[in-house]
């Protein structure tokens, strides 16, 4: 395990160590979520590594506001005075681990990571063997639903990143149904681009 690392978050660099808490510019992640920032340098055990392959895992503790900065404007001999203030939007994070050892622990202990891998498992599996297995068990109805343009399971809760990874394992009918759903309902640009790319590969 390395004693410290230099990470990049929001265009700024921070020197961090395990267990340390620090304030960074406001992140879009929810409270309690984990993230893996870009690692620029790892050191502490001998010479520093300028091209590290290790992972730094951080957890979002909460969102806060910085100290108020007071701003005053004044023009002499006119009676003009104006006062205002500003508080920066910040996020407090905690560095949970530095190094590859956390990857193995994260896979076994992280509930969120385990849930994501369980959700991704059906999408990453080949699409062809599943209908054959269902036909062998005498369940043609499920195959008919998949081929009739039904949305894939769990589609409503998928993020754009999860959708991009899972679209390769869907059938052409499922991709077309998802594309039609996005155009008529949410119209997320990233999702539309990913689905159109997946449809071109299948044609």
Q: Dump pLDDT digits (tens) for 104-146.
A: 444 444 444 444 444 454 544 555 555 444 444 444 444 444 4
The residue length of the chain stands at 203
- Alpha carbons 27 and 64: distance in angstroms, whole number: 11
Residues 6+ away with beta carbon under 8 Å from 146: 131, 171, 173, 174
Q: Dump pLDDT digits (tens) for 15-32.
A: 999 999 999 999 999 999
Concatenated DSSP letters of 114-165: HHHHHHHHHHHS-TTHHHHHHHHTT-HHHHHHHHTTPPPTTGGG--HHHHHH
pTM: 0.45
pLDDT at position 65 over 90: yes
Q: What percent of the chain has pLDDT over 70?
A: 72
């Amino acid at each position: 395990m390395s004693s410290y690392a230099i990470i990049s978050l929001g265009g700024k660099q921070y020197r961090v160590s395990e267990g340390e808490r620090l304030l960074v510019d406001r992140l879009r992640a929810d409270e309690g979520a984990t993230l893996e920032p870009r690692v620029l340098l790892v050191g502490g055990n001998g010479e520093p590594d300028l091209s590290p392959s290790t992972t730094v895992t951080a957890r979002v503790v909460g969102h806060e506001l910085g100290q108020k900065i007071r701003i005053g404007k004044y023009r002499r001999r006119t009676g003009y005075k104006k006062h205002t203030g500003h508080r920066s939007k910040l996020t407090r994070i905690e560095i949970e681990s530095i190094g590859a050892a956390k990857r193995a622990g994260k896979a076994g202990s992280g509930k969120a990571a385990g849930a994501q891998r369980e959700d991704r498992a059906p999408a990453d599996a080949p699409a062809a063997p599943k209908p054959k297995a269902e036909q062998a068990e005498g369940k043609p109805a499920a195959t008919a639903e998949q081929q009739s343009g039904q949305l894939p399971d769990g589609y409503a809760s998928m993020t754009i990143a999860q959708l991009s990874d899972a679209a390769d394992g869907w059938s052409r009918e499922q991709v077309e149904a998802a594309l039609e759903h996005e155009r008529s309902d949410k119209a997320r640009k990233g999702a539309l681009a990913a689905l159109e790319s997946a449809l071109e590969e299948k044609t």
